[in-house]
Structures are given as structure tokens and as C-alpha cells.
């Protein structure tokens, strides 16, 4: 089966240049099962590439310049399954990225074949995380659901995406700023800002920026995430 076959697993890589080069050589060397469709240094560069040509799996170096919020934003905006590569031993950080929607975590100390296997399994719909992480995440999700049942407002807030929370913080942090200014600060168009606000109003049961400012202040959503 040649590279580019419809049944190959299409991969996008996000890492700083030196790490990205090594990852690309590894994945390309495993053809025809895998195809590196595109690469980028950071999430912001990835989004337009993934909009033009969707892929099956995104492999992201978590030790690069992007934080958990960028990972959550990427997951919210693309259909691809996301797998992260890391040398971190911070269990809380790794749990957060999985809670944000990451389907797999591979440690850099593991053999290259493990990463290739993880890409395959994540593509097939499986989670690639260790049992300890799965147990911690299950308990945290159960705790959050219990808290949401006791507080309807928290339940609404839980439906917000990372990008929507960033939008709320930007709007509430400068309530008098015109939409054009807010959109510029978020590096989005005014049209996209209006779409975000429409979704936010619907989820939170609000009808105006004044309502949003009051809600954000009351629930501490006016701080940058």
C-alpha cells in the first residue's frame, strides 16, 4: 500500500523543529501504515493547516511552547484524535490534558515503537493512558459531575470550551471595549467573535454583554485562562 493510500493513518506533528524532524523521520519510516500530512511548531500554526487538510491523529510535543489551554483549544476545533508526547512526570498536568480531550500520552523515555503503536490505537478509538491515570481521571470526573448536580450554574459553565472561556475573560476584562478590539486581542475576526458570543449566551442563558459581564464576575470567569 503506497504512501497516501486512503487507508493510511494521516498524521500531523506539532513540535519545535529539532524534535519535529526526529518525529517526522520516525513516522515516515513506518510507511505505508502512516502518512505525515503536515507539521507545525505550535498549535497556532497548526489550525489553518488542519482546516485545509484534516488528519486522523495529531501528535503534539507537550514539552514545547504550548500549554494545556492551547491543547484544549486544538482539541475543541479539530476532529482529529490528539496524542501528546512528553518527558514530564507531573501527574496533575498529564491528567489535565486527558481531561481536556487528549486520547493518549506517550513518555519520551519509551521506545519509538510505543509511539507508533499509540498512534495506531488512538486512531482506532482507544485511549492510550496508564491505569493509574485512568483511575484518577474517573474519580475526578465523578467528583465534577456531583458538584455540577449540586450547582446548576457550574453545570452550564462546564459546557464552555476553552476558547469560549478565553472569550468571556476578554469581554469581561474590558467591558467597554468594542467588539473589534476584543476580536483583535483574541486574534479572531469580529464574525468569529459574534459566533462565540452567540454560543456562550445560549449555553449560559444570557442575552447581552452586560449579562455576560455580571455572570463572569459572579463566577470568576473574568480572569484569563
Of the pLDDT bands very low, low, confident and very high (cuts 50, 70, 90), residue 2 is: very low
Residue 222 Cα to chain centre, angstroms:
21
CA distances in angstroms from 59 to 27, 30, 120, 122, listed in the order given: 10, 15, 12, 11
Give the tens place of pLDDT for each residue, 158-169. 888 888 888 999
Q: Is the pTM of this model over 0.85?
A: no
The pLDDT of residue 144 is above 80: no
Domains and CATH numbers, the chain: 9-136 (3.40.50.2300), 152-218 (1.10.10.10)
CA 94, CA 155: separation in Å to the nearest integer? 24
Which residue matches cell numbers 493509574?
A: 132
The pLDDT of residue 5 is above 60: no
The pLDDT of residue 49 is above 90: yes
Question: What SS3 class is residue 56?
Answer: coil
What is the pLDDT averaged over residues 32-47? 92
CA distances in angstroms from 110 to 20, 33, 115, 169, listed in the order given: 17, 20, 8, 39
Of the pLDDT bands very low, low, confident and very high (cuts 50, 70, 90), residue 3 is: very low
CA 150, CA 209: separation in Å to the nearest integer? 27
Of the pLDDT bands very low, low, confident and very high (cuts 50, 70, 90), residue 4 is: very low
CA 139, CA 160: separation in Å to the nearest integer? 21
For helices 68-77 and 91-99, what crossing angle results, to 10°? 20
Amino acid at each position: 500500500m503506497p504512501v497516501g493510500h486512503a487507508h493510511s493513518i494521516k498524521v500531523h506533528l506539532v513540535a519545535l523543529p529539532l524534535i519535529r524532524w526526529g518525529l517526522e523521520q520516525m513516522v515516515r519510516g513506518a510507511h505505508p501504515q502512516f502518512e505525515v500530512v503536515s507539521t507545525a511548531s505550535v498549535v497556532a500554526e497548526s489550525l489553518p493547516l488542519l482546516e485545509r487538510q484534516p488528519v486522523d491523529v495529531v501528535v503534539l510535543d507537550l514539552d514545547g511552547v504550548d500549554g494545556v489551554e492551547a491543547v484544549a483549544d486544538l482539541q475543541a476545533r479539530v476532529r482529529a484524535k490528539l496524542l501528546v508526547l512528553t518527558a514530564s512526570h507531573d501527574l496533575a498536568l498529564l491528567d489535565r490534558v486527558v481531561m481536556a480531550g487528549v486520547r493518549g500520552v506517550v513518555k519520551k523515555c519509551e521506545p519509538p515503537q510505543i509511539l507508533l503503536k499509540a498512534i495506531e490505537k488512538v486512531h482506532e478509538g482507544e485511549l492510550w493512558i496508564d491505569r493509574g491515570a485512568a483511575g484518577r481521571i474517573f474519580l475526578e470526573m465523578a467528583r465534577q459531575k456531583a458538584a455540577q448536580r449540586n450547582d446548576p450554574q457550574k453545570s452550564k459553565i462546564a459546557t464552555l470550551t476553552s476558547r469560549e472561556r478565553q472569550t468571556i475573560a476578554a469581554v469581561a476584562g474590558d467591558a467597554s471595549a468594542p467588539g473589534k478590539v476584543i476580536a483583535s486581542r483574541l486574534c479572531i475576526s469580529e464574525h468569529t467573535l459574534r459566533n462565540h458570543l452567540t454560543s456562550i449566551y445560549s449555553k449560559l442563558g444570557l442575552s447581552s454583554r452586560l449579562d455576560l459581564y455580571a455572570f463572569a464576575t459572579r463566577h470568576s470567569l473574568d480572569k484569563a485562562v
